[in-house]
Structure 1
């Protein structure tokens, strides 16, 4: 099973040469990038899970309604919101979507599993920081979903052969043929592959002069759209099963 995820997060990088991009403009970039992702998913009739950064949820209500209407899952991505903010945002979101928010993601375990269980989340899908050298520091680890404090804990996927993780950075830099082979080989060994990307990776850095490292500009924008399109085309050609996170876990 392939679990395809997207993190909706604003790009945080500063701009070059003293230029500025306002918070509203950054939000609009995230919205447009997400709409590009939705178009590609719709073409291939594949459903995914979208983890929306908590502080952006109320600002993107119309976008989240569109995502949900198209059959995708809405979940939360937390950067630095506190439990009270998360709980309040969850209540508001469930009211306007008329659906229960089950998934939660963060890079560091800032919010305890007990607190998240009390907020009635059902599963946790934490991720690690990804940089140019980070993948080469990874060690083999268990990729099985476990239960803890009444929550399903979904680990990041990692190739049992190359030991490369399936994070946003690896998708961006690896040649598609190699990436496809990695997915195919991993599914022979594991029950699922969790693939996640960030909305900001679809930013046109020629138009917006953000000061990002060269390896993060590589294959970004339209090239990232083309890579995603190529991956989904391959998935359908090989008749590989895909699922939203909540459907697979429960």
Structure 2
């Protein structure tokens, strides 16, 4: 099973040559990038899970409604929110979507599973930092879903052969043919492959002069759209199964 997921987050990088991009412009970029992702998913009739950064949820209600209307799952991405903010945002979101938010993803700031269980989350999908050296730092990890305090803990996927993780950076830099082979070989060994990308990777950095490392500009913007399109075309061609996170876990 392929679990395709997207983190909807504003790009945090500063700008070059003293130029500035306002918070409202950054929000607009995130929305435009997400709608590009939605168009590609719709073309290939593949459903995914969107992890929305909690501080953006109320600002992107129309976008969230569009994501949900197309049959995708809405979940939360916690960057640095406190429990009371998460709980309040969860209630507001469930009210306007009329659907339960079951999943949450965390990276640097991790709230305990006991607290998240009290908020009635059902699963946690934690991720690690991804940079140019990250793929070579950890060569072994558990790739099975476990239960903790009544929650399902979903780990990042890693190729048992290349030992590369399926994070946003690896997708961005690897040639598509190599990435496809990695997915195919991993599914021979594991029950699922969890793939995640960030909305900011779809930014046109030639248009917006963000100060990002050269290796993060590679294959970004339209090239990232093309890579995603190629991956989904291959998935359908090979008749590989895909699922939203909540459907697969429960």
TM-score, normalization by structure 1: 0.99
Partner Cα separation in structure 1 for residue 131 and residue 40 of structure 2: 26
Partner Cα separation in structure 1 for residue 68 and residue 110 of structure 2: 27
Shift in Å at residue 139 of structure 1?
1.9
User: Corresponding residue for 2:49?
Assistant: 49
| Gap runs ≥5 in structure 1 | none
User: Corresponding residue for 1:70?
Assistant: 70
Cα deviations by residue, 1:84-141 (Å, 9 ceiling, x for unpaired): 0000000000000000000000103531110000000000000000000110111211
Correspondence 1:130 to 2:137: no
Q: Does the 8 A contact of 1:108 with 1:126 survive in 2? A: no
Aligned pairs (5 A) from 1:63-212: 63-108=63-108, 110-212=110-212
Shift in Å at residue 185 of structure 1?
0.1
Q: Does the 8 A contact of 1:123 with 1:151 survive in 2? A: yes
Correspondence 1:249 to 2:235: no
Number of aligned residues? 250
| Gap runs ≥5 in structure 2 | none
TM-score, normalization by structure 2: 0.99
Q: Does the 8 A contact of 1:202 with 1:221 survive in 2? A: yes
Helix, strand or coil at the partner of 2:17: helix
Q: Does the 8 A contact of 1:145 with 1:155 survive in 2? A: yes
Give the alignment's Cα RMSD to 1 decimal. 0.5
User: Corresponding residue for 1:31?
Assistant: 31
Q: Does the 8 A contact of 2:168 with 2:196 survive in 1? A: yes
User: Corresponding residue for 1:11?
Assistant: 11
Cα deviations by residue, 1:140-188 (Å, 9 ceiling, x for unpaired): 1110000000000000000000000000000000000000000000000
